[in-house]
A and B are shown apart, each in its own frame.
Chain A
């Protein structure tokens, strides 16, 4: 029996007690680890999100204690609430693994795979998804769908080719701003995120669309091509902001703050949404009170280059040109000594 007032749910053989109304996905997140289904469109902080990308499909092998019949189809775990005694299979179900592989393939057939020049690379959920669940090659042999790149305002660039139509940015505009100015126009695989007419997105909180975008479709123009994210160093900081909580992550390269984002949790969701002023305008260390280096998952590419001393190979010591080229790293090595 589950705890008083709780539902017992078993996911891939691991049992957890959760409050009624919890979705399968959130129950899995309470367990954590590999059994958490990937979610490209669901965002716990955006009401109504989810159900669309179909990457979080799971198999309900037992509906509940009362009605143990399995569900006939795979269900979107982000939008299916648990019942007491429910049993769910995620990675232990070959059907789920197969279906998910199919979804990843679908999401990638029209994706440009321009990761080498994409600012999202390194923190892109589609990259992770493809790596973890995708096939090793594509079977798609036709031209990919393309759109023009558009700037929606001074600070945000929309690269529709990369979009997977998760609708998160639409929910952000609906729920965080007073009036939504962009949306999904057209239909089917012609659907696109757009303002339809030339229109700048100007709202104190609209910058959050960048943080919620799982791919590189909405990127920060103030960070555009400045650096690869794995060469930058995240540090948690805060300021006394009149508009938002002012709790952010600063992404440093050397002494320079290259970009500011909201702080994200282990499921890549922001902890608190931040305002445009914090995000786009406060790019000096002096604007902030630094807290500590951001905790990064140990297998993230972000950890690859930081917090370790650069040991210059002997050839650099002998060559002034190379010394000049590596000036920054060498200076940092000195600092960290």
Chain B
């Protein structure tokens, strides 16, 4: 299915290219494809998501065919191929966290943000989703917040509210 609905033309800054070059230097000569995952992370951190144009430019930089980048970006769950909220709230939804109330947290989040999983709030600030095990089962329920991936353990509904308020405040001051 050709599901690309939106594109965003990007121009990588020299600073970003410097970061790319550092990543590429970690691998042997000719193995620059290894840099693909870290570079996609860098691009997503810069633009919030991976547009076709951004992926094509990464392909160009690494001397890959664009499809090689699409294949990889669509395989891994961390890469967003559609625009997301400024902050992405990801709650662990796997077994051990559910034993200690993750499902309740997700319901609360849906109610609080007013959008279903995967969608962006009207103000463009938030999107949320359940993700699979975040490897913090003993401290569940857990939540991570992109793009900087801050991590929050032993969640309660109150704590979720508090975090959302803090993020709103942060966005206002930016």
Query: Which residues of A are at the interface with B, using a C-beta cutoff of 8 A?
Result: 147-148, 150, 160, 179-187, 192, 194-198
Contact = CB atoms under 8 A, between A and B. Distances in A.
A180 B76 CA distance: 21
A196 B79 CA distance: 15
Contacts of A192: 1
Give the 5 A-B residue pairs with the shortest CB-CB distance, closest first: A196-B70, A185-B74, A183-B67, A183-B71, A186-B74
Interface string B58-100: 0000000111101100111100000000000000000000000
Residue from the set B67, B71, B77 with the largest chain A CB neighbour count within 10 Å: B67
Nearest to A190: B74
Contacts of B2: 148, 150, 194-198
B58 to A, nearest CB: 14
A67 B67 CA distance: 44
B52 interface: yes
A27 B4 CA distance: 46
Interface residues of B, number: 14
B68 A160 contact: no
A180 B71 CA distance: 12
Contacts, number: 48
A184 B71 contact: yes
Given A147-B1, A148-B1, A150-B1, A196 B65 contact: no
A183 B1 contact: no
A158 to B, nearest CB: 10
B40 to A, nearest CB: 14
A151 B75 CA distance: 23
Contacts of B66: 181, 196-197
A185 B65 contact: no
A115 B100 CA distance: 49
B75 A187 contact: yes
A150 B75 CA distance: 21
B74 A181 contact: no
A180 B67 contact: yes
Interface of B: 1-2, 4, 52, 65-68, 70-71, 74-77
A195 to B, nearest CB: 7
Contacts of B68: 180, 183
Contacts of B70: 183, 185, 196-197
Contacts of A179: 65
Contacts of A180: 65, 67-68
Given A180-B68, A196-B4, A197-B52, 10 more contacts: A148-B2, A180-B65, A181-B66, A183-B68, A184-B71, A187-B75, A187-B77, A196-B66, A196-B71, A197-B70
Contacts of A181: 65-67
Nearest to A196: B70
5 contacts: A148-B2, A181-B65, A183-B70, A184-B71, A196-B2
A192 B1 CA distance: 8
A180 to B, nearest CB: 6
Nearest to A173: B67
A187 B74 contact: yes
Contacts of A183: 67-68, 70-71
Contact of B1 (A182, A187, A194): A194
A254 B71 CA distance: 44
A48 to B, nearest CB: 15
Contacts of A147: 1
A180 B1 CA distance: 18
A150 B2 CA distance: 8
Nearest to B7: A197
B7 to A, nearest CB: 9
Nearest to A147: B1
A160 to B, nearest CB: 7
Nearest to B4: A197
Contacts of B74: 185-187, 196
A185 B70 CA distance: 7
A147 B1 CA distance: 6
Contacts of A148: 1-2
A198 B71 CA distance: 15
Given A185-B74, A187-B74, A195 B1 contact: no
A206 to B, nearest CB: 13
A60 B30 CA distance: 40
Nearest to A192: B1
A194 B70 CA distance: 10
A50 to B, nearest CB: 20
Nearest to B52: A197
Contacts of A187: 74-77
